[in-house]
Structure 1
Amino acid sequence: MTEVLIVTGGGRGIGAAVCELAAARGYAVVVNYAADAAAAWSVVARVCERGGRAVAVRADVSGEDDVRALFAAAAELGPLTGLVNNAAITGDTPGRLDEQAVGTVRRVLDVNVVGVFLCAREAVRLMSTRYGGAGGAIVNVSSTAARTGSAGEWVHYAASKAAVETLTVGLAHEVAREGVRVNAVAPGTVETGLHAAAGMPDRPRRLAPSIPLGRAGRPEEIAEAVLWLLSDAASYAVGSVLTVGGGR
């Protein structure tokens, strides 16, 4: 049976790397995106060129109807066996907490926390043996910011990722005996478009000296950790938060 994987925010950065690696390892992949259709379909094209199966599906993960439509589209590839909750935003402008607009904070929490909740809930309803499913795995993408706090830049984003880690542990305990393993990966500074989108394209280079390994990570390195947690090789990993941050 083909394993079917949904990757939210799969059109760019870590999400795109997860989609391509998963497809190379035999998954049929649903590449979710919110706005950049061209990027998502580019990932699909690369997967298909290498003989894999993939489809791009637009959905705002903070919207309940969009999430239902996303999972319905995935069902066309076969029964769902995995979910990677990767979609996340930092907000418009980095800065201190007292400089942030409440609308920005609410939108970050909607995407980063409510989005993870909605997608995880739908995945459990499909994969859990409680509902007649055959089991599966969920990997939530957190951040080392959940531990460091990201002061002066993205305290609200860091708080959202701390919520993701708590959700990971609690949900893992709820569904572990229902055939569903839930874990998280917490990347450190990674070379993705997130930094440029926030107006700080040089951020990975600027932070590199503070990382014990001396450099920012690559999306492909995070994807390897995600795929391990999805795989049977991680069969005893439940409620874990795996830090992949170059030692930071």
Structure 2
Amino acid sequence: MDFFRGSQWQQLPFSASDLGITNTGDVYLLGEEPGDYGQCLYKLDQQGLPQRVSQDSNVSGVALNTNGLYASLISPDGRLNQYNLYTQNFTPGATYALEAGYGGDGSFYWLGSDTYTADNRLYKLTLGDYGEYTQALPGHGARLAVDSHGNPWIVTRSLDIYRFRSDTPMTILGKARDISASSNYTVCIISIDFRIYGASYTYQTTDPWVGIPDIINTPVRVAISPEGVPWYIDQFNNVYKRV
């Protein structure tokens, strides 16, 4: 995978605190609306400009399912809520989460708890004989991504990277502050020294990390599109895209 496509990073004319990209390439952002007292969910239109899509302005994190139909919105108190992006139906959740993510197979994971005491453990929503239930997996983390195979990747509070396969964690070489996985079998991280690296993966293997040059300011959140194009947000909430 050529992570050096394009010649530079382009700063986009808006700001955000978090972003997510669906398998169809739709880009969603969390940002502030003038006059509101919190953050709102936006979607980039065909001109690349953000349009507000959520009525709720009390959002601190977002995860998007593969077809862009549902968003999992994390409130400032850590509650994990479901939002239908088409009907705008908002369903309050009883689960608490620090991070959440959908896999390319439709699977859903989160770091947090199914109780009122969030411990940032890795959980999976599993379909059983009697409906959906919460399955706790052997891992704790601070950042989460879920890949094309529906396998989670986590970054721990000590910045270690783990990739799960068949619900079993495997150590990945390197340290990271954030992580994002794409439907085209690529993954990006923000390294411990605030650089951005990308790698290709298969179900069995992960390639060596490749540095992406010319980073502007300090990246704090990273995302990667279905085409393998990296995006990031810096410490000032500026948004950049590789072009």
TM-score (norm 1): 0.30
Point out the structure with the larger helix share.
1
Higher relative contact order, chain-length normalized (CA < 8 Å, sep 6+): 1
Point out the structure with the larger strand share.
2
